[in-house]
């Protein structure tokens, strides 16, 4: 995944600040939303391809993504709850 240096700098600055500016938070939320749309698209393209793989190929791919998948499954509901709560 390619992240521009300016984006990395902005994220590091947000972590240092105790109070985050509303505009910065909105940029960060927008960025996450765009990444989620891209992830949704990528997954929708991959699902039919994965369904056609044999068991060993599926196992290799599954092992590679298990940690990240578990993390997303754990934190997305919390993120969704916070976003709904703030609206």
Q: Mean per-residue pLDDT for 56-60?
A: 85
Domain for residue 38, yes or no? no
Q: Which two tokens stand for residue 62?
A: 């599954």
pLDDT reported for residue 84:
75
Q: What pLDDT, in 10s, does the model give residues 18-33? A: 666 777 778 878 888 8
In a domain, residue 61? The reply is yes
31, part of any domain: no
Q: Is residue 8 part of a domain?
A: no
Query: Which pTM does this prediction carry?
Result: 0.61
Whether 47 is covered by a domain: the verdict is: no
Any domain includes 81: yes
Residue 69 structural domain: 54-87
Task: Count up the domains in the chain and report the number.
Answer: 1
In the predicted model, what is the mean pLDDT of residues 52-75? 85
Please give the share of the chain, as a percent, with pLDDT higher than 70.
Answer: 85
pLDDT average, residue stretch 55-66: 84
Q: How far is CA 10 from CA 18, 25, 52, in A?
A: 14, 10, 41
- CA atoms of 69 and 47, how far apart (whole Å): 14
Q: What is the rounded CA–CA span in Å between residue 1 and residue 37?
A: 14
């Amino acid at each position: 995944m390619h992240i521009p240096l300016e984006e990395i700098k902005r994220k590091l600055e947000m972590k240092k600040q105790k109070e985050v500016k509303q505009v910065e938070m909105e940029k960060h939320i927008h960025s996450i939303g765009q990444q989620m749309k891209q992830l949704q698209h990528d997954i929708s393209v991959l699902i039919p391809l994965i369904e056609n793989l044999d068991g060993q190929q599926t196992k290799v791919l599954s092992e590679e993504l298990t940690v990240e998948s578990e993390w997303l499954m754990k934190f997305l509901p919390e993120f969704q709850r916070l976003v709904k709560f703030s609206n």
